[in-house]
Amino acid sequence: MTREINCPEAVDIVSWLPICKVDAPQRLITAVVLEPWDGDPATAEESMDSQDDVVTAEEIEKAMIRFMKKMAKGDAFLGFMHGDDPADLVLIENWQTRVDMTLGDEEVKAGTWLMTIFVADDELQAGVESGELDGLSIRGKGFSTAV
């Protein structure tokens, strides 16, 4: 169910996850950034991302902390469609759930990385409200190993 890649260098990782909650008047969206895999081979397929990879809650925590450290230094930003420039978005909340929960209509597993973002850009906000923009996508570098 998992795949093994022999890669001496980091590879680009792109994953898309739905927006869980939209607060249009306040221009806030809350969305899953990464969902965890519980380590059970039987559940790997349902936890796979767009590249058929899985990530544990422990690795998600490490990635979230690395991201926030980079944000603090100005080495990371919130962009649009994996562009090379920051979008007019402001990170409001960034956290990892400790328990299973429901957010909007979405069931969220313990260990999931969530973000709440203020959408300052009028065109992006219109896309969120119309449903044209319905998720976030994480982009990063990582290594894939067999489990």
Question: For the chain, which residues score pLDDT lower than 50?
Answer: 1-8, 11
Q: Tell me the C-alpha distance between 107 and 85, whole Å.
A: 32
Number of domains within the chain = 1
Tell me how far apart the terminal alpha carbons of the chain are, to the nearest angstrom.
Answer: 9
For the stretch 116-127, pLDDT in tens is 999 999 999 999
Q: Determine, yes or no, domain membership for 58.
A: yes
In a domain, 92, yes or no: yes
117, β-bridge pairs = 29, 91
User: Residue 84 falls within a domain, yes or no?
Assistant: yes
For residues 28 and 118, is the Cβ–Cβ distance under 8 A? yes
Give the range of the structural domain holding residue 101, as residue numbers without chain letter: 12-142
Q: How confident is the model at residue 15, as a pLDDT? A: 52
Q: Is residue 69 part of a domain?
A: yes
The answer to whether residue 130 is domain-embedded is yes
Predicted pLDDT of residue 105: 86
> Which pLDDT score is estimated for 135?
77
Position 2 in a domain: no
Residue 53, domain member (yes or no): yes
Q: What is the pLDDT of residue 102?
A: 92
Residue 65 lies in a domain: yes
